[in-house]
Amino acid sequence: MPKRIDLLQGTLDMLILRTLQWGAQHGYGIGQAIRAQSADVLQVETGSLYPALHRLEKHGWVTSEWKQTESNQRAKYYRLTAAGRKQLAAEHARWEQLVEAIAGVMKPARKESES
Amino acid sequence: MNEDQRERDLDEEIQAHLNLAEADGHSPESARRDFGNVTLIKEQAREIWGRAWLDNLGRDLRYAFVQLRRNPGFTVATVLLTALGIAAAMQMFVLVDAVLLRPLPVRDPQSLVQLFEIHPVVPPDAWFRPALLRDIQEHSSTMMDVVGQTEMTAAVDLGGKVERIHPYRVSDGYFQALGVSAALGRVLADGDDRTAVLSHSYWLRAFAGDPHVIGRTIHLYKRPFTIVGVAPAFFIGTIIDSSPEMWIPGRSSYNLSDIPTVRADETYIESSAWEIIARLRPGVTLARARAESALFLKHYYEDLARREPDANQLLGQGRAEVRSIAHGRSPLRDQSSAALWLLLSGAGLLLLMVCANTGALLLARASAREKDTAVRLAIGARRFHIARLWIAESLVLTTAGGLLGMLIAWATTPSLAHLVPPARDIGFNPNEIRVRTFDLHPDLRIAAFGAAICALVAIVVSIAPVWRSARHDLWSGLKIALGDARQRRFQSGLCALQIAFCAVLLVFAGLMIRSLSRLEHVNTGFSADHIALFRVDPYSARYTNRQTIALQRRLVAGARALPGVDAAAIAGTALMRGIGVGNIIVTPSHPAADRLNTSANEVTPEYFETMGIRFLAGHGLDRGESPKQKPRSAVVNQTFARRFFPGENPIGKVFSTGRKWTAPDFRVVGIVNDTHYRSLRETPPPLYYTGFAAVADDNQDYNSFVLHVRAHGDPDAVIAEVRGLLLDIDPHVPFYEVSTIKEDIRNSLWEERMLVALATAFGIFAVLLSAIGLYGILAYFVAARRREIGLRIAVGAMPGHICGLLGRQLVPAVAIGLVVGAALSYAAGVWARSLLYEIGRSDPWSIGAALAIVFTVVAIAAALPTWRALRLNPASTLRQE
C-alpha cells in the first residue's frame, strides 16, 4: 500500500468539487473516488469529509438531495452548482499557480547540485 | 430546513455512509471504526450551520448553573460581593455624573458661556450692572443670545401662607436663548411684566402639581404676579446645586424695591447686579470671546469711574474671563470634584478587588476540577471549549451579581443626597441655606454604565481560569499537580496588596471615628441641648428697622410665655453653621489694624441666659439703647479680653470698629466664657456681642435674624408652637431654616461623618474581599496538593506540620501586607492631618484596631481550608493515583 499523504489545508474542498464535476455523488462515494483517483495515496477521513461537505453546501457551491443508489440504498447525493463550478475553476487556477511556484523553487536547486 | 431536520438529516447521512461501507464489503465494526468520531463530526457540522455557539452557550450555561448550585456558599458569596462592588461603583458614578459630568439640559449646552471677573484676592465675580449687559448684547461679535439673570429673595404670599423664596429675575429672551420651552403654559415673553414661570419642583411643592395654576395670581413683596407657565422638570437654571422657585421678568424690579428708604428709580435699576450668560457664535473660541470681553469690561469701568468717581477701589482691577457653563455652575463641584473623583477611583479599585478575588476563587475551583478537565481534553474537547465553560460560569455569576448590584444601586442612590450637606454660597448671600436639587435618580445612562462595568467584571473575572485552561495540557492534569509557583507568587502579591489597602482604609476609618468622637465631645461653651432656631426675615415683608426691633421684642416675649419654653432670645448669627460675622476693631492702645481681627454677633440681652453662656465679670447688655448713643454697651469673651486688653481689667474699656482709632463706639460692660463660633474645629475666636440697635434706621441692608428658643425638654416639641406664634404676630413675615442647634452641629460634621461612613464601609468591604481572596489561595493550594498532604498525613505528619505547610503560603503575604499597610497609612496620615482632630496620625488605638481586625478576618478565612486539609483522608487521596 502506498504511503498516505495528509491533505493540504483547503485542498480537500477542491478535490470534492473536482470529484463532483462528473456528476452527483454521495459522501461515501466521494471518499472512495478520491482514494481511487489518487491510487490510494489520498485517503479522506470521514471526520473531515462531512464537515467539508456541509461547509460547501453552506457556501452554496453544492446542493444535496436524497436519492436511491444503484444498490437500492438511500443516500444523500451532492451536486455541483454553477457557483461551485466557478469556485472549482478558481481553486484549480490557484492550485496550478501554487504547484508552479513550488516547482520553480525546487527545480533550480536540483540544477545547481547537478552542475 | 430547521435545526431538528438538519440534525436528523445528518444522522441519516451517517447511517447511510455506514450502510454503503458495509455494502462495499466492510464489517459493521470496521465501518464504524473507520468512520471515526461521530459526535465530533456532528459538532462540527452544527458549528458550520451556525447554531453551535448558541447551542453550546445554552449547554455551558446549564452546566454552569448545575455547578454553581452544587456550591451554594461560594455562589452566594460571589454574587453578593459582585453586587456590592457594582452597586458601590454605580453609586459613586451617579454622584460624579450628577455633579461633574451631566451637561445642562438646554439646547446646545456646549456653546453656553458666562462672563466673570477674576480678582487676585477675592473669588471670581459674576455680577455686572445692566450697562455692560446691554453693551455686550448690542455690540458683541463673538457672542449671541446674550441674557442676564439675577437671584433675589422674596416673600411669596400664597393666600395666607408666606414663604421665603429665591426667584430669578431674567432679561427678555432668557428662555428663548437657552432653548427651553414650558412644560405647561408658556415661558416669559419679551415685554412681560409681573408674570412668573414656576419651576417644576416648586409647582409640585406649593401647588401640588395643579394644572389649573396658569393664570393664577401670587404675591411677591405684596405685589401681584400672574403665573403664565411651569418650566420642565429637567430645567433648574444654570446653577445645578439648587433650583430657583420661579423666574420673573427683569423689569419687575421696578415694583419690588419700594421700601421706604430706596426709590426704585432708574439709578436703582442701573446699579443692580446681573450674571451675564451668552452663547459663543459658531466657530468662535473662548479666547476670542475673552479678548473681546476684556474690551467691554474696560469700557464699562471707565464709564463707571466717570459717573461714580468714589466707587469701590476693587472695581476694575480684575481681568475678564469667559467660561463655558456647558455643565452648569456648582459651588459643590468647585469644592469637591477632586474628592468625587477619588471616591469613584476608590469604588473602581474595590471593584477590581472583587474581580481579582472572584477570579481567584474560580481558579481554586478550576484546580479542584482538574481531573474533570483532563478527562474532557482526553476525549477530544478543545481548549476553547474548556475556556467556554469557565466563561459561562463567570458570566452566570457576574450577571446575577450585576443585576442585584444594579437593583441595590437603583434603590439606594436617591438617599445619597443625605450625604451631601445643605447648599450654601449659591447666590449673593452665603448665609442662606438652600435645598439641594441634585438629580440623583438613576437613568438610562447610569444603567448603561452599570451594564458596561458588569461586562468588564465578567471579562476580568474569567481571565485567570481561561488563561489557566489555555495553558493546560493533557498530561499535567493527569500527573501530580505541583502547582504553578509563579502563579501563586502573583496571587500572594495581590493578596499582600489587598491587605495593605484594607489596613490603610481601616486605619483611616479608625482615625476619623476617634476624631469625630472627640469633636462630638468638644466643650462648646454653650449648652446646645434644648435650643430650637428659627430664621425670620422681616425685610422681605417690607418692615422698617424700627418695626423690626418691635417685632423682635414681641417674639421674645411671646416665645417666653409658651408652655415648655424656658428662655428665648434673638441673635443676628446662629452658631455652628460654618459662617459668621468678622470685623476689624481698634482700641486706644492698638490704634490701627488692617485685617479682620475679631468676630461679632448682634444679640438681645436674654441671649446669654438662653444659650447658657456664663458671665465671668460685669453684667449684660443694656436694654433700650438708642442707635445714636455712643459708646454703646458691649459684652466680650475671654479671648477678646486677653487679646485686646492683656493684663488689664477690661470692664469699662472702649473699642471701635474700623481701621483707625477715632472715637469709642463701644464700652465693655461684661466678660463671658469663650464659645465655639463657626464650627467645632475652630478655636474660639475673640468675639464681642452688641445689641441690635447698632443698625441705624436708614440702613437698607437690614438682615434677617435668628430666634433662639430654649425648651424645657425636647426642642423639636416646641417648634410647632413657635411657628404658630410667628403666624399670629404677622403671617406675612417669612420664617425659614427651622432647626435645633444639635441638628446644626450634626450638619456641621457632615464631612467627618461621611468620611467615617465611607471609610468604614469601604474598609469592611475590602477586608471581606481580601479574606475571600486568601481563602481562594489556600483552597487552591490544598486542592493542588491534596496528594502531597495526604501522603504526609499517611506517613505520620502531625497537624502542626500541615498547618505550618499552609501557613507558609499565607504568612508572608499577610505580614508584608500589614507592614506595608501600616507604613502607608502613617505616610498618608500627612494628607489626612487636616481632617483629624486632636488625634495624631500614629494614634496607636486606630492602628492597633485596624491591624487586629485584618488579622482576625484573615485567620477566619484561613481556618476553613486548613481544617479541610487536616481532615483529608490519606487512603482516599492516595487511591486516586
A27 touching chain B per CB within 8 A? yes
DSSP state of B98: I
β-pair partners for B172: none
> Hey, what's the cell of B185?
403654559
In this prediction, residue B562 carries a pLDDT of 93
Mean pLDDT for chain B?
83
Q: Phi/psi at B653 (nearest 5 deg)?
A: -75, 155
Q: What pLDDT band is residue B191 in, cutting at 50, 70 and 90? A: confident
In this prediction, residue B706 carries a pLDDT of 92
Cross-chain CB nearest to B48 (options A46, A58, A66) = A58
Any domain includes B95? no
Where does a domain end: B326, B341, B363?
B326
A38 touching chain B per CB within 8 A? no
Any domain includes A6? no
> Hey, what's the cell of B486?
509563579
In this prediction, residue A7 carries a pLDDT of 61
In this prediction, residue B623 carries a pLDDT of 81
Do the Cβ atoms of B138 and B717 come closer than 8 Å? Answer: no
Higher-scoring residue by pLDDT: B771, B431: B771
Q: How many domains does chain B have?
A: 4
Q: What is the complex's ipTM, to 2 decimals?
A: 0.80
Q: What's the mean pLDDT in B289-312?
A: 83
Rounded Cα distance, B812 and B492, in Å = 8
Q: Which of B200-209, B255-264, B288-297, B824-833 has the lowest mean pLDDT?
A: B255-264
Rounded Cα distance, A78 and A62, in Å = 6
Claim to verify: residue B13 and residue B152 sit in the same structural domain: no
A54 touching chain B per CB within 8 A? yes
Query: Is residue A9 over pLDDT 70?
Result: no
Q: What's the mean pLDDT in B122-147?
A: 90
CA atoms within 13 A on the CB side of B771: 20
pLDDT digits (tens, 9 = 90+) for B492-526: 888 888 889 889 989 999 999 999 999 989 999 99
List the domain range (segments joined by +) for residue B31: 3-50
CA atoms within 13 A on the CB side of B69: 6
Best of A4, A13, A26, A28 to mutate (most B CBs within 10 Å, chain B): A28
Claim to verify: residue B356 and residue B291 sit in the same structural domain: no
β-pair partners for B224: B219
Query: Is residue B126 over pLDDT 90?
Result: no
Claim to verify: residue B722 and residue B854 sit in the same structural domain: no
Q: What's the mean pLDDT in B726-746?
A: 87
Any domain includes A96? yes
Claim to verify: residue B274 and residue B131 sit in the same structural domain: yes
Q: Phi/psi at B217 (nearest 5 deg)?
A: -105, 130
Claim to verify: residue B649 and residue B726 sit in the same structural domain: yes
Any domain includes B744? no
Q: In 3-state terms, chain B is what percent helix, strand and coil (to 5)?
A: 55, 15, 30
The residue whose grid cell reads 462531512 is A50
The residue whose grid cell reads 506540620 is B801
> Hey, what's the cell of B519?
469633636
DSSP state of B622: P
In this prediction, residue B741 carries a pLDDT of 92
Q: What is the dihedral of CA B55, B60, B66, B71, to 10 degrees?
A: -160
Rounded Cα distance, B76 and B68, in Å = 9
pLDDT digits (tens, 9 = 90+) for B806-816: 888 788 888 99
Whole-angstrom Cα Rg for chain A: 17
Cross-chain CB nearest to A46 (options B9, B23, B36) = B36
Any domain includes B69? no
CA atoms within 13 A on the CB side of B344: 18
8 Å CB contact of B35 and A28: no
CA atoms within 13 A on the CB side of B243: 21
Question: In whole angstroms, how far apart are CA B612 and each of B281, B529, B708?
Answer: 61, 10, 12
Claim to verify: residue B243 and residue B180 sit in the same structural domain: yes
Any domain includes B103? no
Claim to verify: residue B341 and residue B298 sit in the same structural domain: no
Query: Is residue A52 over pLDDT 60?
Result: yes
Query: Is residue B785 over pLDDT 80?
Result: no
The pTM for the full model equals 0.70
Where does a domain end: B50, B69, B85?
B50
Q: What pLDDT band is residue B474 in, cutting at 50, 70 and 90? A: very low
In this prediction, residue B361 carries a pLDDT of 77
Q: What pLDDT band is residue B698 in, cutting at 50, 70 and 90? A: very low
Rounded Cα distance, B346 and B502, in Å = 12
List the domain range (segments joined by +) for residue A40: 11-114
Do the Cβ atoms of B84 and B343 come closer than 8 Å? Answer: no
Claim to verify: residue B321 and residue B343 sit in the same structural domain: no
Q: How many domains does chain A have?
A: 1
Higher-scoring residue by pLDDT: B594, B108: B108
User: Which residue in B has a C-alpha nearest to residue A77's C-alpha?
Assistant: B13
User: Which residue in B has a C-alpha nearest to residue A56's C-alpha?
Assistant: B48
Rounded Cα distance, B329 and B239, in Å = 5
Any domain includes B82? no
Output the domain CATH number for residue A22: 1.10.10.10
Q: Which of B462-466, B553-557, B791-795 has the lowest mean pLDDT?
A: B462-466
Claim to verify: residue B682 and residue B783 sit in the same structural domain: no
Instruction: Map B500-549 to HEC letters.
Output: HHHHHHHHHHHHHHHHHHHHHCCCCCCCCCCEEEEEECCHHHCCCHHHHH
In this prediction, residue B430 carries a pLDDT of 60
8 Å CB contact of B36 and A74: no
Q: What pLDDT band is residue B472 in, cutting at 50, 70 and 90? A: low
Claim to verify: residue B832 and residue B846 sit in the same structural domain: yes
Q: In 3-state terms, chain A is what percent helix, strand and coil (to 5)?
A: 60, 15, 25
> Hey, what's the cell of B372?
474533570
Rounded Cα distance, B814 and B499, in Å = 7
Any domain includes B72? no
Chain centroid to Cα B760, Å, comes to 16
B16 touching chain A per CB within 8 A? yes
Higher-scoring residue by pLDDT: B559, B868: B559
Strand extents, DSSP E, B638-702: 654-657, 666-672, 687-690
B136, B139, B165: which is closest to B148 by C-alpha?
Answer: B136
Higher-scoring residue by pLDDT: B433, B280: B280
Claim to verify: residue B637 and residue B676 sit in the same structural domain: yes
8 Å CB contact of A28 and B17: yes
Q: What pLDDT band is residue A108 in, cutting at 50, 70 and 90? A: low
Query: Measured between beta carbons, which residues in chain A are less than 8 angstroms from residue B52?
Result: none
Q: Which of B328-332, B422-426, B619-623 has the lowest mean pLDDT?
A: B422-426
Q: Which of B696-710, B779-793, B860-874 has the lowest mean pLDDT?
A: B696-710
Instruction: List, in order, residues 6 or more apart from B500 with CB less than 8 Å away.
Output: B816, B817, B818, B820, B821, B824
Whole-angstrom Cα Rg for chain B: 37
Q: What pLDDT band is residue B480 in, cutting at 50, 70 and 90? A: very low
Q: Which of A16-20, B639-643, B771-775 has the lowest mean pLDDT?
A: B771-775
Where does a domain end: B326, B351, B385?
B326
8 Å CB contact of A75 and B16: yes
Strand extents, DSSP E, chain A: 25-26, 62-68, 74-80
Query: Is residue A112 over pLDDT 80?
Result: no
Q: What's the mean pLDDT in B133-137?
A: 93
Any domain includes A74? yes
Do the Cβ atoms of B86 and B457 come closer than 8 Å? Answer: yes
Any domain includes A98? yes
Claim to verify: residue B721 and residue B771 sit in the same structural domain: no
Cross-chain CB nearest to B41 (options A51, A66, A75) = A51
Q: What pLDDT band is residue A57 in, cutting at 50, 70 and 90? A: confident
Cross-chain CB nearest to B19 (options A54, A58, A73) = A73
Rounded Cα distance, A98 and B246, in Å = 82
β-pair partners for B615: B672
Q: What's the mean pLDDT in B684-702?
A: 70
Q: What pLDDT band is residue B709 in, cutting at 50, 70 and 90? A: very high
Q: What's the mean pLDDT in B220-237?
A: 88
8 Å CB contact of B41 and A50: yes
pLDDT digits (tens, 9 = 90+) for B355-376: 888 877 777 777 667 667 777 7
B627, B612, B524, B520: which is closest to B569 by C-alpha?
Answer: B612
Query: Is residue A113 over pLDDT 50?
Result: no
Q: B22 to chain A, minimum CA–CA distance in Å?
A: 11
B283: phi > 0 → left, psi -120 to 50 → alpha, else beta; which?
left
Cross-chain CB nearest to A26 (options B16, B36, B41) = B16
Q: B21 to chain A, minimum CA–CA distance in Å?
A: 7
pLDDT digits (tens, 9 = 90+) for B46-104: 777 765 556 667 778 888 888 888 878 778 888 988 898 999 898 888 888 888 888 89
Any domain includes B531? no
Any domain includes A1? no
Any domain includes A23? yes
Any domain includes A92? yes
Any domain includes B741? no
β-pair partners for B706: B535, B571
User: Which residue in A has a C-alpha nearest to residue B45's C-alpha?
Assistant: A51
Best of B1, B24, B44 to mutate (most A CBs within 10 Å, chain A): B44
